[in-house]
Amino acid sequence: LRQVVWACAALFFMLLLKRWDYRRFNTSPWAYGSMLVILLLLMLVYVLDPRLHRWFRLGPVNLQPSEFAKPVLIVFLAHFAARRASVINRRRTLICAAVIVSLVTGLVIAADLGTAVVIAAAAAVLFLVAGLERRFALVAGLILFLLISIAVAWKPYRIARIFGHVNPDYSWLDTALVRTFDAEGKAKAWLKQSAPTRDSTYHITQSLIAVGSGGILGTGPMRGRQKLLYLPEAHTDFISAIIGEEL
């Protein structure tokens, strides 16, 4: 029922925006005003949600400001790039754009790495379309890679998740080369302790079981078993596996 309510609200706003001329957004009040609001919300959520830094909890409704940051940043950068199209590769233009993108991405990346990567990728595509030279694109890509690496190292559970996907038994850390520098196996113990779950492959395994048990035709609507406490967040994070099982 909650998903139906959100879908109806989204459909209403989609049809409303469809009637608007998108050029209305290509004004400074829309671009700079909305960006200022998003930056304030991203900073405010750090105070109101000190544990996750993600959600505004308004009774039965939860709002995530980082989701609103995606379209707002696109509108802002499109307006910015359109106004400075003739000097898109000038140092001043690139520094201004980099400061805004870094500020938004930095505020998001502490709480949600995936959303931060999406925001940075959208900004990169927009500037490539606007005519950004390849050498600047390469530098931006290297900086983004460095920031993502720092963000992953900053929160060890993210490293543990990567190992859980590519090397769940941590056998890479038992090689002779690693043992030369870490004879006591502290790195392996640290990663195991940092893992968000005892079994880092649990979700992947349960998702594959769901899709496999559904076969070609599926078990039928509402007849899936994996959502019965085997897969958490079956209506959001793991909805793909549940759809595969039932349909």
For the segment 104-140, what is each residue's pLDDT rounded down to a tens digit? Answer: 888 887 777 888 888 888 888 888 888 888 888 888 8
State residue 201's pLDDT score: 73
Residue 104 burial by Cβ neighbours in a 10 Å radius (0-12, 13-18, 19+):
buried
The answer on pLDDT for 153 being more than 90 is no
Q: What is the per-residue pLDDT across 175-213, written as a single tens digit (0 to 9) for each?
A: 766 777 777 777 777 777 766 666 667 888 899 999 999
Listed in sequence order, the residues at least 6 apart from 161 whose beta carbon sits closer than 8 Å to its beta carbon are 195, 196, 200
The helix (H) or strand (E) run that includes residue 167 is none
Separation between Cα atoms, residue 20 and residue 18, nearest integer Å: 5
What pTM value is reported for the model?
A: 0.70
Separation between Cα atoms, residue 12 and residue 159, nearest integer Å: 41
